[in-house]
Structure 1
Amino acid sequence: MGLDERIVGLFRKNLQPTLTYWSVFFSFGLCIAFLGPTLLDLRCQTQSSLQDITWVFFAQQSCLLLGTALGGLFKTTLKQSLFVLFLSSFTISLVFAIIPFCDHVVVLAVVMAVAGLAMGCIDTISNMQLVKIYQKDSAVFLQALHFFVGCGALLSPLIADPFLSDSNCIQSNLTANASANLDHIRNSLVPHNPRNLSHYGLPLQGLVVTNVSYAFWIMAFINLPVPLVVFLLLYREGMVPGCGKKPTSLLAADELALQNKQSQMSPVDSMQEKAQATKKGHEDLYRCCQSQNYHGVPFTYFAVHIAGALVLFMSDGILGEYSGFIYSYAVQEPLSIVHKTAGYLPSLFWGFITLGRLISIPISYVLRPGTMVFINLTGVMVTFLFLLLTPYNSILLFVGTASLGLFLSSTFPSMLAYTEDILNYRGCATTVLVTGAGIGEMVLQMLVGSVVLEQGSYSFLVCGMLFGCLAFAFYMLLLCFHRMYPSTHSDPPFKGEDSEDGECSYQR
C-alpha cells in the first residue's frame, strides 16, 4: 500500500502536466485512425483512383517517422517541448478542418504529411516527458498514456461511420457494380498496397455526393480543447509571452539570475557568453553519447538502444500487418467468412488493444516492465502458433485476434520503461525506440503486403510468427546487454540535467 500512496502522491504533485500529456496523446489517437474508414469518401472528394489515394497513407506515415525524429530535438527544455506540443495539437485540429476542402489528392497528401509531422512530435515528446517526470515509476503512467491513444483511435472511426457513403459517392453509370462491394473494398485497403482491387468499377468522374466533411469538422471541434490544455500548462509555467503570470519554480530565478549577469557584463563578455550558450545548445543534441564517469561510451550503451528498437520494430510491425491483413485472410479460403462479419475483426483487434492497455495500468504496479515484455512476446508467439494450427475455425480466429490484441497492447510502454530504466533515464532511448517502432509498422506492413500478394493470405500468419520469434530473440539479446551494461558507471538521470534546463518544477 505504501507504493500505491507514493505513486498517488507523485500523480497529485504532477497532475496538470500528466493530464496534459494524456490529452495530447488522445489527440494523436484521434488522428491516427480516421484515415482508413474515410479513405473511399476521400477518394470521391479528390476524384482519384485507389492506387493514388493510398499514397495519402504513405505521406502520413513517412512524415510521422520524420516527426518522431524531430521530436527528439526538442527535449532540451520544457518550454520547447510544450510549445511544440501546443503547435502539434493545434495543427491536428486545423488539419481536420482543412481536409474537406482538399479537392486534389496531392493537396490531401501534403495536408496529411503535415499531420504526420505533428503526430510524430507528439509521440516522442509525450513519452519522453512522462519518463522525465516519473522515472522509475513511469511504467504505470506510460500504460495510461497509451490507453488514451487507444481511446482516440476507437473514437474517430465511430464518429466517421454515420457519415460514410453507403453507395458509391461518385454517381455515374459504373456505380452499380462497385456499390455492392464498398464494405469489402474499405476493409481491404492497406497503406500503399491496393493489391487487386482495381478490377472494381470505381468511377473517377461524376457527381460527388458525400457527407464525410461533417465527420472531420466534428473531430476538429472535439480536438480543440487539447491545445487549450497545453496552453494552460504553458501559462502555469510562465512561458506565455506577454502574460502577467510570473514563471514558476526555479525557472523564474534562473531567468532573473541570467538577466542580472548580463547587465553586469561588458559587451565583449556578453557576446562570448552567447556564443558559449549556442555551442552548449548544439552539444545537448549529442549529450546521449557522452559520459561523465568513464572515457568513451561502452558498446553496450548503443547495443541496448539498437536491441530495444529492434524489439519494437518487430512488435509494432506485427500490429500494423495484423490489423491490415486480418480481414483479407478471413474472407478468403479456407475460412471464407462473410464480408460483414469479417469486418468486425480489425475493430475487435483494436478494441482489445485498448482494453489491454487499461488492464495493464494496475498490472504494472506489481510487475516489472521487463517481466511484462517477456509475457507479452511469449503470448504473441503462442497466439500465432495457435492460429497457424487452427486455420479452419472462424470462431478461434476471433479468439486469437482478441488474444493477440491483449498481448501486443502493453508491449511498447513496457519496453520503453524497461529500456530507459537500463540507461538510467537519460531520455535518449525514447526517440530511438519510438522511431524504430514507427519504421517497423510501415516497412513490415509493406513487406507482408508483397508476400501476401505472391504467396496468398495464409502467409501473413507465417510472417507474424516469424516477426514474433525475432522480437523475442532481440529481447533475449537485450537481456544479455543489460547484464553487460556498466550500471555502476551509469550516467546521472534527468534530475541533474533538468536543473540546467529549467525543468525543476517537475522534479520530485
Structure 2
Amino acid sequence: MKLLDERVWALFKRNWYQTLTYWSVFFSFGLCIAFLGPTILDLRCQTQSTLQQITWVFFSQQFFLLVGSSLGGLFKKTLLSSLSALFSCTLIISLVFAIIPLCHHVILLSIAMAIAGKAMGVIDTIANLQLVKMYQRDSAIFLQALHFFIGLGALVSPLVADPFLAEDSCVLGTNWTTNSSSSSSADLHHLRSSMAGHGTALHNISQYPLHTEGTVITRVSYAFWIMALINLPVPAAVLTLMYYERLLPCFSNSPRLLAKDSSPSSAEDSGQGHGSVFNCCNPAKLRGRPPTFFLLHILGGAILFITDGIIGSYAGFVYTYAVSPPLLMGHKTAGYLDSVFWAAITAGRLASIYLSYRYTAPRLLTFSLVGVILVQCMLLIFYTSCVFLFIGTCVLGLCISSVFPSLLAFIEDLLNYKGCATTVLVTSASTGEMILQLIVGSVIHSQGSYAFLLCCTIASFIGFCLFLLLLYVQHIHRNGDTDSTKNTDMKEKPNPGGS
C-alpha cells in the first residue's frame, strides 16, 4: 500500500524545497519555545533576579507570541514578503539565542524574549498560511508534518541545555558555603520541573528562597550558543529558497523552482483573502458573507483555544499534580511526565501524517476529541495511580496531537481558502495556551491539585460539544453554498421557451 497516491506525491515533488523550508522554520519555532523552562533557574542566576521577577520572562514570550501570530498574516501578500519575514524571524531567533548570555538584567532578558516571541508568532502564522495555500485540499498531510517539527525542536532544545544546567545553587554568596545553600540539588530539580510549564506554578515554588547576590557560576551560556548554531541552517534554507525563486535583487538570473502558474497560491498573491486578525475584521471584506461563515471562524477558534489551552495547562501542571497528594510522586520521576507528554505529541503528529491521508479530517478530529475525553475521565477515576498517570499522559498526547493541523485544514477547506481562517485559528490557539493556563493555575491555587484534572476534563467536554456544533454549521454552510450555486446556474441558463 502506498503512503501517498501519485497525485499527492507529484504535488510534493513539485514543491519539495518550499515544503522542507517551511517545515524547517517550525523546527526553529519548537527549538525556541521549549528551552526556557529547563534553563530558567540558570537565567535567574545570570540576571540575579528573584523567582517572581524571572517569571515575567515567560509572560513576555507568550504575550508577544500572541502579538506575532495576530500580525503574521500581514506578510502574506506576496511570496517575497512572506519569505523575507521568515528569513528575518528565523535569523532573529538565532541572534536572540546568541545574546541571551549577555543579558545580565531581567528587563533585558524579557525584551530579548519578547522579540523572540514575536518572531515565533510570525513564523507560526506564515508557515501555516503558505502550506495551506500551496496544497489546499491536500494540506492536512503536510500540516501534520509541519507540526511534527515543532515537537522535534521542542525535544532537541532541552537535550542541548541539560549538560550545562547547574546541579546546585548557581549563585555563591561571600558569607555562606555551598553546603549551607538554601536549595539542594533535589530542590533545584523540583523547581525546574515546576517552572517547565511557562512558570505558571509560581505559587507552589515561592517557598524556596534563592540567593540573588553573589558569584554567578552558571555555564548555561554554552547551551544558548550551541542552539544559535543549530538554528542557523534554517535562515540559510529560507535565503536559498528566495534565491531559487528569484526574489533577491542581486540574483535575478537565478533558477526558479516553480513556474509562475504551477502553484495553487499564484491566484491568491494579489493580497486578497488572508491577512492579520485586524485586517480580517475589515467590514468591506465581511459584507455579504453568510452567518455560517462567521460561525465557522468562531467555533474553529474556540475549539483550538480549548485544545491548545489543554496542552499548555497539562504540560504546565502535570508535574505539580504528580508531586502533590494523593500521588506524592518523587520529584525526579514526576519530572519525566512533561517529556513523556511532548514525546507523545511528537509521535502522534508523525503518525497523523499517514492517518490524515487515510481518513477525512472530521473523522480524525472526532476520534481525537473523543479520545481526549475518555483518557481525561480515566485519569479522574484512577487519580491515585502513578502508573496510570504515565499511561494517560502518553495517550492524551497521542490523541490531542493532531487536532490543530486537522482542524486548520478542515476549516480552510470549508471556506474554499478565501477567508482568514488560518490567522484566526493560529491566534486563537496562542491565546488559549496563555489564558487557559492562567485560569487553571488560579483554580489549582484555590481548590487544590485535583482541580487540575477536573478543569482539563470539563474543557475537553466543552471542546467536543463545540466540535459537534461545528459539524452542524458546516452542513448548513455547504447546503447554502450548493443552493446559491444552483440559483446562479438557473439565472445564467437561457430560457428555451422564451419569446
The residue that corresponds to 1:11 in the other structure is: 12
The residue that corresponds to 1:210 in the other structure is: 218
Give secondary structure in 1 for the equivalent of 2:445.
helix
Structure 1 residue 484: Cα displacement:
1.4
* CA gap 1:489/1:434 in 2 versus in 1, 3 angstroms: farther
The residue that corresponds to 2:488 in the other structure is: none
* CA gap 1:18/1:239 in 2 versus in 1, 3 angstroms: same
Which amino acid in 1 is paired with 2:44?
Answer: R
Which amino acid in 2 is paired with 1:184?
Answer: H
**Counterpart contact for 2:274–2:418, Cα < 8 Å:** no
Q: CA-to-partner distance for each residue in 1:336-378, whole Å, 9 max, x for gaps? A: 1111111100000000000101111111111111111111110
CA distance in 1: counterparts of 2:253 and 2:378, whole angstroms: 59
Structure 1 residue 229 corresponds to structure 2 residue 237: yes
CA distance in 2: counterparts of 1:331 and 1:182, whole angstroms: 14
The residue that corresponds to 1:188 in the other structure is: 194
* CA gap 1:208/1:296 in 2 versus in 1, 3 angstroms: same
What is the 5 A alignment of 1:245-284?
A: 245=253, 248=256
Structure 1 residue 108 corresponds to structure 2 residue 109: yes
The residue that corresponds to 1:39 in the other structure is: 40
What is the 5 A alignment of 1:425-444?
A: 425-426=417-418, 428-444=420-436
Structure 1 residue 300: Cα displacement:
0.8
* CA gap 1:489/1:132 in 2 versus in 1, 3 angstroms: farther
Structure 1 residue 196: Cα displacement:
3.5
Give secondary structure in 2 for the equivalent of 1:178.
coil
* CA gap 1:333/1:94 in 2 versus in 1, 3 angstroms: same
The residue that corresponds to 1:124 in the other structure is: 125
Structure 1 residue 244: Cα displacement:
4.1
* CA gap 1:124/1:283 in 2 versus in 1, 3 angstroms: closer
Structure 1 residue 179: Cα displacement:
2.4
CA RMSD of superposed structures (Å): 2.2
Give secondary structure in 2 for the equivalent of 1:199.
coil
Structure 1 residue 282: Cα displacement:
9.4
Structure 1 residue 176: Cα displacement:
2.1
**Counterpart contact for 2:171–2:211, Cα < 8 Å:** yes
Structure 1 residue 298 corresponds to structure 2 residue 290: yes
The residue that corresponds to 1:76 in the other structure is: 77
Structure 1 residue 85: Cα displacement:
0.3
CA distance in 1: counterparts of 2:191 and 2:323, whole angstroms: 12
CA distance in 2: counterparts of 1:282 and 1:358, whole angstroms: 33
Which amino acid in 2 is paired with 1:188?
Answer: S
* CA gap 1:171/1:489 in 2 versus in 1, 3 angstroms: farther
Structure 1 residue 297: Cα displacement:
0.8
CA distance in 2: counterparts of 1:427 and 1:112, whole angstroms: 31
**Counterpart contact for 1:376–1:408, Cα < 8 Å:** yes
Give secondary structure in 2 for the equivalent of 1:297.
coil
**Counterpart contact for 1:289–1:297, Cα < 8 Å:** no
Structure 1: tracts of 5 or more residues without a match: 253-279, 492-508
Structure 1 residue 348 corresponds to structure 2 residue 340: yes
Q: 163, 183, 189: which is aligned to 1:178?
A: 183
CA distance in 2: counterparts of 1:458 and 1:283, whole angstroms: 45
The residue that corresponds to 1:55 in the other structure is: 56
The residue that corresponds to 1:220 in the other structure is: 228
What is the 5 A alignment of 1:313-324?
A: 313-324=305-316
The residue that corresponds to 1:26 in the other structure is: 27
Structure 1 residue 481 corresponds to structure 2 residue 473: yes
* CA gap 1:384/1:444 in 2 versus in 1, 3 angstroms: same
Which amino acid in 2 is paired with 1:239?
Answer: L
CA distance in 2: counterparts of 1:283 and 1:383, whole angstroms: 38
Structure 1 residue 427: Cα displacement:
5.2
The residue that corresponds to 2:450 in the other structure is: 458
* CA gap 1:242/1:310 in 2 versus in 1, 3 angstroms: same
* CA gap 1:295/1:350 in 2 versus in 1, 3 angstroms: closer
The residue that corresponds to 2:166 in the other structure is: 165
* CA gap 1:196/1:481 in 2 versus in 1, 3 angstroms: same
* CA gap 1:281/1:27 in 2 versus in 1, 3 angstroms: closer
The residue that corresponds to 1:155 in the other structure is: 156
Structure 1 residue 62: Cα displacement:
0.3
Structure 1 residue 426: Cα displacement:
2.1
**Counterpart contact for 1:26–1:152, Cα < 8 Å:** yes
Structure 2: tracts of 5 or more residues without a match: 262-269, 486-499
| Identical aligned residues as a percent | 54
CA distance in 2: counterparts of 1:295 and 1:462, whole angstroms: 42
**Counterpart contact for 1:188–1:327, Cα < 8 Å:** yes
Which amino acid in 2 is paired with 1:219?
Answer: M
**Counterpart contact for 1:51–1:192, Cα < 8 Å:** no
* CA gap 1:62/1:489 in 2 versus in 1, 3 angstroms: farther
Which amino acid in 2 is paired with 1:70?
Answer: L
**Counterpart contact for 2:348–2:397, Cα < 8 Å:** yes
The residue that corresponds to 1:238 in the other structure is: 246
Which amino acid in 2 is paired with 1:216?
Answer: F
The residue that corresponds to 1:387 in the other structure is: 379
CA distance in 1: counterparts of 2:59 and 2:14, whole angstroms: 41
Instruction: Report how many aligned residue pairs link the two structures.
Output: 463
What is the 5 A alignment of 1:351-362?
A: 351-362=343-354
Structure 1 residue 281: Cα displacement:
6.5
TM-score by length of 1: 0.87
CA distance in 1: counterparts of 2:246 and 2:425, whole angstroms: 32
Structure 1 residue 418 corresponds to structure 2 residue 413: no
TM-score by length of 2: 0.89
Which amino acid in 2 is paired with 1:355?
Answer: A
* CA gap 1:490/1:400 in 2 versus in 1, 3 angstroms: farther
Structure 1 residue 489: Cα displacement:
7.5
The residue that corresponds to 2:266 in the other structure is: none
**Counterpart contact for 1:46–1:102, Cα < 8 Å:** yes
Structure 1 residue 488: Cα displacement:
3.1
Structure 1 residue 490: Cα displacement:
8.6
CA distance in 1: counterparts of 2:225 and 2:473, whole angstroms: 49
Give secondary structure in 1 for the equivalent of 2:181.
helix
CA distance in 1: counterparts of 2:274 and 2:393, whole angstroms: 44
Structure 1 residue 469 corresponds to structure 2 residue 475: no
Structure 1 residue 201: Cα displacement:
2.5
Structure 1 residue 403 corresponds to structure 2 residue 395: yes
Structure 1 residue 250: Cα displacement:
6.3
* CA gap 1:144/1:156 in 2 versus in 1, 3 angstroms: same
* CA gap 1:212/1:281 in 2 versus in 1, 3 angstroms: same
Q: CA-to-partner distance for each residue in 1:145-197, whole Å, 9 max, x for gaps? A: 01111100000000000000000100133862212400001111243531142
Structure 1 residue 480: Cα displacement:
1.4
Give secondary structure in 2 for the equivalent of 1:415.
helix
Q: 187, 201, 209: which is aligned to 1:201?
A: 209
Structure 1 residue 284: Cα displacement:
7.8
* CA gap 1:427/1:296 in 2 versus in 1, 3 angstroms: closer
The residue that corresponds to 1:270 in the other structure is: none
Which amino acid in 1 is paired with 2:194?
Answer: S
Which amino acid in 2 is paired with 1:488?
Answer: T
**Counterpart contact for 2:96–2:112, Cα < 8 Å:** yes
**Counterpart contact for 1:383–1:403, Cα < 8 Å:** yes
